[in-house]
Homo-oligomer: A and B are copies of this chain.
Amino acid sequence: MTQFGSTVRGIRERLRRDDRRFSVRQVAQRVGIEPAYLSKIERGEVAPPSEATTVRLAAELGQDPDVLLALAGKVSGDLQEIIRKRPRLFAELIRQLKEAPDDAVLRVVREVRDGDW
């Protein structure tokens, strides 16, 4: 589908240039999966792994978990839970912001962060 695998491979190989601990085998071991499985993931031979595995992989590679999950075609379970608790509210908000430029969304984020509520 998308470039989840190649992205992961790229990141891992870059890290590997100055740290031999970033081989397929060693990363797989630290992440808690089989090396063969990680190899297949990186080559796109299988679908991206589960959310939990993706998050551990992101941590290992120093990546933002939400970004890696997005590449895997997923949305973090905790975000989904927040939405599910107030579906109408969040559905409307998110659809409103669909076409908004990044900086407009960022303004909203900051406003909420500094907000007085």
Task: List residues of chain A with CB under 8 Å of any chain B CB.
Answer: 64, 66-67, 69-70, 73-76, 78-80, 82-98, 100-102, 104-106, 108-109, 111-113, 115, 117
Contact = CB atoms under 8 A, between A and B. Distances in A.
Given A79-B90, A101-B117, A104-B112, 4 more contacts: A78-B95, A86-B102, A90-B97, A104-B117
B93 A108 contact: yes
The 7 A-B pairs with the shortest beta carbon distances in the complex, nearest first, are A70-B87, A104-B117, A66-B87, A66-B91, A70-B84, A75-B80, A96-B112
Nearest to A77: B75
Contacts of A83: 70, 75, 79, 94
